[in-house]
Every structure is written in structure tokens, then in C-alpha cells.
Structure 1
Amino acid sequence: MKYLNVKRIDWYIIKKFLGTYIFMIVLIISIAVVFDINEKIDKFMTNNASLKEIIFDYYLNFIPYYANLFSPLFVFLAVIFFTSKMANNSEIIAILSNGISFKRLMKPYMMAASVIAIFSFVFGSYVIPPANASRINFENTYVDPRQRKVGDTDIQFKVGEGSIVYFSSFDIPSSTGTNFSMDHFDSLQLVSRLTARSIRYDSLYRWTIQDYQIRNFDGLQETITKGESIDTTIQIVPNDFIIAKTDQQMMTSPQLRHYITSQKERGMGNIQAFQIEYHSRIASVFSAFILTLIGAALSARKVKGGMGLNLGIGLALSMGYILFMTISSSFAVKGGMSAFVAAWIPNIFFTAIAFYLYKKAPN
């Protein structure tokens, strides 16, 4: 670390920051687990969930998911807690009195925030999504079976260049769609239309069509072919058009990016939650730095109210940040706001607060 010119005081602050951050996670997540057990114990017992499933399939995946989800909150509270303590012990005053500027004081804070941001991004983008599959499957089985994907109606989208499919309905448990049709166009000219009473998904891209009719058009001539059953390949799977509200949590960031791109090409309009998830994972990296700066600037000054006042203000600001994220995400899903804007508006707003508090910080 010599090339970073890390001093003993820097290591002191980094250790305090990371130690308090881990302490906050352990304390708050432990409380959350206790409340969650208390809330769901009846459902666990009613639906005969085994102790092994509860521990390994649910809580071992519950803990990292929520620890990472509320990481900005833990960063904020950790910074305010240990910085207020340093200020009350006159350590901040001693540091600044020795000619170290507040800007220089922020160096170890930002180094610790960088460590947290990198781990949060890697875990949130690549490690936690696969683990979420076990947690969500457990919840859908033992907590709220109504959340399972069962099907949808009136499904229409593009599957290739000039090809559009339609399902009157699709049932997930049986992997069967009804009143299926697939139209092929050459420019704006309809060249063929396949209709079927039902269609069943078999394996990767393989479908079995029942009671079908194919109409081929060649100018004013029309050829009709009918049959009882035919196996065919269509470049779609049920997960492409039957979407649960938690599906985006189970995708890694590269999978999210690919899914969003492919769904846009198919003309699907229900991808806002996936876009918000993708942009939020990136925005959360920067939130660690923004909230660190706010927390340090807010609590570096010794005040009469002591640590309690700073923690109160910190809790209010952190709750405001989470509320802001929730409201902007809701507007993106239901109000037509851009997912990118929804993910970044909280950071932009709190960056302005950070800049103001930085200017007012003691030097």
C-alpha cells in the first residue's frame, strides 16, 4: 500500500469504518432474522418446511441478500456512528489541528467505501442472484404459494424477423398454451399463418402443436394444410413471456443485460423491473461514496446533542434515501419514468446534499 501513501491514521480510520460496518450488518440483520422467524414460523410449520430447508435454502440466502440490499444504509450508519464517537472524544479536532484538512481526512473513508462498493457490486451482480433462486423457491413453496408463476393471458410478441406469436392463455404447470397463432411477414405482406387449438412446451425451443392449420399465401393464392399434431422448433421458452415479480432478482447482471436486450427486440413491454434492477446495481456502487461523504461531513463536528443527535439525523436521511429509491422505482414501473433516471435520481439528489455538507464541514 506504499504507492497509496497510506498512513497509520488512515489504517486506524479504515479499520474503524469496516469494523463498524460489519458490526451494523450483524446487529441489524440478526434482528431482522428474529422478526422474520417470528412472522413466518406458523407458515413454516403449516407447510411442513424442514429445519434443513429453513436454514440452508432460506436463511443462508436471506442474510446475504438483505445485507447487500441495505448496504448503503449500513455504510451510512457505520460512518455516523464511529465518526461521532471520534468527534466526541476530540479525535477529529486533534487530527484537524495537526494540519490535516477535511479533504485529506476523507481519503481513508473513501478507501474503505471503495472496498465495500466493490464487494457489494460483485456479490450483488454475480453471487447473490443464483442464491436468490433457492430463497425465492422456498418462499413460493412454504411461505406464499400464490407467488408462483402459474400463467398469463393474451400474450403477443415478436420471436424473429417478421414472425409474431400469440397465445390466448398459457399455463405454467402444464407448459401448455391455448389458441396459439404464429404469423410470418415479408416486409408488410403476410406470407403464412399457423393457428392451433393448443401448444405444449417440451424442451429447449421444442414445442408440440395440436390440432393445427397452416395457411400459406402466394399472391392471391392460398394453400391450407391441416393436421392433428406436429413437433416444431420455436426460439422461445415460457420464461420469455411468463414473468414473476422476483425473476430479476435471480439473474446476474450479464443475464439481465441480455434479457433486456432480447425482450426489447421482441417488443415486450413488461421489462421495467428488470431495467431498474440492472441500473440499481450500478447506482448502489456510487451510493456508498455519496453516503460516506454525507455521514462523515455530518458527524465530524462535535455537537451538544452528542452521538444520539447525529444518529437521529443519519437515520432520518438514510430512511429518506430508501424511501426516495422506492418512490422513483414505483414511478418507473407504473408511471412511465425511465428506469435509468429512477435508479440515479436518489444519488443525484443526495450528491447535492453531500456537496453542501462537505462545504460546511470543519477544517
Structure 2
Amino acid sequence: MKRFILTFFFILGLIMSIAMIFDVSEQIDDFIRHDAPLGGILIDYYLNFILFYGNLFSPLLIFLSVIFFTSQLANRSEIVAILSSGVSFRRLMFPYFVSATLLAGGSFYLNNYLVPMANRTRIDFENTYINTYRRTLNHGVHKQISPGQMIYFDKFNNKNKVGYQFTLEDWEDGELQSKLFANYVKWDSVSGDWTLENYYIRTYVNGQERVEDGKSLDTALAFSPSEFVGRLEDIQRMNVDELDEFIAEQRLKGSSNIPYYLIEKHSRNALPFSTYILTVIGVAMSSRKVRGGIGVHIAAGLLLTVTYILAMKVTTVYATNAGLDPLIAVWTPNAIFGVLAAYLYAKAPK
């Protein structure tokens, strides 16, 4: 068990070192252009970079570690000797399952609590020194901000926090209750209010229309400019409790990005669980001594790794573009590879 875990951390360190080298070569111009501090690069960015991506790919790295470690044992005929001494294959699997449980449990905690905290620092650094470009002008903004309340901007300037041709509609039981229109609205970051210029309000009561208009109005509205800025990746900042609250809030607002949020939520549980499935596959396929030795097992492991990643990509695309339930999309690769694991386990040398 100790050697297996050490092998995992060795491969993790190797892969993360290579990933950092490629990332530095890609980001170095941004670091120089925006005068990013060395301490921020090393601590705020790359330390959290390793934590995020290392944990994200940990099930696949565990899989490769299992294959590498078990292939060494099989190549030295140690697996044959262990099974010949009367130890069952199930008993042989026990240390692997203990190790997988420790690593999967750690990954689950990291996914739901620690990594989101680290991501806040990493994403803040990216927004400051790497992803400094933001689309300044949003056109045709249309969204639900609460049940029955719809807003529309012809244009919204993210830089100045100013909107043009603004409309707010209140609906109840399918009937329009009121409609507010303003030529120009501006966000006051101090008070948290909006200033409406050249506005009018139409209110409908018992079939009667009442109109109110004016030059300027300061009022509180149930949304802020931050809802029009940012990236989908910003949900990586949220721990599991914050993510659940955010999803509930976005459902009320009628967000079209709900599938992306649910994929993020379910992936945090599905990926750690895949550690068990990939461990069984890794042990079962590499416990036989084959011509070509470790290289054959590693090649087969890399092929399965690519297949697993491809399956994840395909199912998540179906969830975001074809209406597939995100829960089914995220767990389908585990189900497919779970069947493969059961088959290989049944065919493993006993």
C-alpha cells in the first residue's frame, strides 16, 4: 500500500511539473506585461494550480499508478507467487481498495471544500494578471431575476456599469402587472442602488393603466452588474453548500447555464468514486505477466485514460446542448467503466 501511494505521488509530481512548464511558457508574456509579482505567481497561482489540476486528474493518475506498480509486480512474477501461496485475488485487492479509499476520500474533501477556497485565490490572480480582457459591451441582455420579474437591456457596458434601453416587467399568473422603462440606468456601487434616467412606469390594475414618468429615479433592484460579468469557471470558487444555494438562486432567475452548474456539482462526487472503478480495472488488466512487460500495460492504460476523458466530454456536451440530465451525463462514464471493471475482475487470474 505504501509503495502504491508513493508511486501515485511520484507520477502526480511528474505530471504537474510538466504541466507547469507548459503553462509558464504560455502565460509568461501576460506575467511580464502586467507586472505580476513573483510571490503571487508561485503561491497564489501555481500552488493553487497544482492543487486544482492535481485533484481534477487524480483518478486517472491513480489509474496509471496502479498499472505501473502492479505491472512491476507481475513482471517479477510476484503476483503469481502471491496467488500460488493461497491468497485469493479478492484478498490481493484489499490493500488497493484501502489506498483507493484514502485517496478518494481526500479527493472528495478537496473537491467540495478545500479546492474551491484555493480557486478563489487562483481565479482572482487570473482575472488580475491573465484574463484581463472582458467583453465591455453586452448586447441584448434578457433574463429572469426572480419569479415573475424579467429584465432587458439593449446594451450593457460592463466597464462603466451603465445600461441602455432598460425594461423591467412584473408578471403574475401570466398577466403583466407593471412595466418600467428607462433610456439609461447606472449602478451606484456605494449605495447598491440603480439610477434611472428618463423613465416611465406603466401599472395595470383591474384593467386600468396608470402611467408615471420622470427624469431621474434612484431605486433598489434585485440584481447587480456582477451577474452580467464573469466566467462559467467562477463557480469553481464555491464549496458544495455555496454551489447548492447558487444553483437554487439561478433556477429562480431562469438561468440558461443550469446544466453547467449541475455538471460541476455532480462531477465533484463522480470523479472521486471513479477511483475505485479505475483501480479495479488497473489491477485486473496489469496483474498478468505479458510479452512486452510494463510498456504494454502502460500503453493500454493510456488508451483507456483517453477513452474515459473522451466519454466524459461527449456526455457533458449532450447535457449542455441536447438536454441530457447532467446527473446521468456525469455518471454514465462511471457506469460504462464499471461494467468493464466487473468483466476484467471476473477474468483476472485467480
TM-score bracket for the superposition, by shorter chain length: over 0.9
1:265 aligns with 2:265: no
How many residue pairs get matched?
A: 349
Per-residue displacement from partner, 1:220-268 (whole Å, max 9, x unpaired)?
4322212222222222233445452322222222222222222122222
Supply the AA of the counterpart residue of 1:276.
I
Selected match of 2:329 from 342, 347, 352: 342
Q: 1:170 to 1:216 in 2, by over 3 A?
A: same
Counterpart residue number, 1:3: none
Selected match of 1:192 from 178, 198, 209: 178
Counterpart residue number, 1:175: 161
Selected match of 1:35 from 22, 26, 38: 22
Per-residue displacement from partner, 1:137-172 (whole Å, max 9, x unpaired)?
3334433433x3645332223333432222222222
- Contact map agreement 2:147 2:253 (CA 8 A) in 1: no
Selected match of 2:51 from 64, 70, 81: 64
Shift of 1:22: 0.9
Instruction: Note the aligned Cα RMSD (angstroms).
Output: 2.0
Shift of 1:113: 0.8
Supply the AA of the counterpart residue of 2:70.
T
Per-residue displacement from partner, 1:80-114 (whole Å, max 9, x unpaired)?
11111111222212221222211122222111111
- Contact map agreement 2:158 2:228 (CA 8 A) in 1: no
Q: Distance in 2 between matches of 1:114 and 1:200?
A: 53
Matches within 5 A, 1:1-363: 14-146=1-133, 148=134, 150=136, 152-203=138-189, 206-363=193-350
Q: Distance in 1 between matches of 2:149 and 2:128?
A: 37
Per-residue displacement from partner, 1:266-289 (whole Å, max 9, x unpaired)?
222122221111111111021100
- Contact map agreement 1:57 1:135 (CA 8 A) in 2: yes
- Contact map agreement 1:164 1:184 (CA 8 A) in 2: yes
Q: 1:253 to 1:149 in 2, by over 3 A?
A: farther
Give SS of 2:232's match.
coil
Q: 1:184 to 1:361 in 2, by over 3 A?
A: same
Supply the AA of the counterpart residue of 1:308.
G
Moved more, 342-351 or 163-172: 163-172
Shift of 1:327: 2.4
Shift of 1:325: 1.2
Q: Which residues of structure 1 form unaligned runs of 5+?
A: 1-13
Q: Which residues of structure 2 form unaligned runs of 5+?
A: none
TM-score by length of 1: 0.89
Q: Distance in 2 between matches of 1:238 and 1:254?
A: 24
Shift of 1:340: 1.6
- Contact map agreement 1:151 1:242 (CA 8 A) in 2: no
Give SS of 2:186's match.
strand
Q: 1:99 to 1:239 in 2, by over 3 A?
A: farther
- Contact map agreement 1:205 1:236 (CA 8 A) in 2: no
- Contact map agreement 1:149 1:243 (CA 8 A) in 2: no
- Contact map agreement 2:145 2:254 (CA 8 A) in 1: no
TM-score by length of 2: 0.92
Counterpart residue number, 1:7: none
Q: Distance in 2 between matches of 1:151 and 1:129?
A: 29
Shift of 1:70: 0.8
Q: 1:130 to 1:176 in 2, by over 3 A?
A: farther
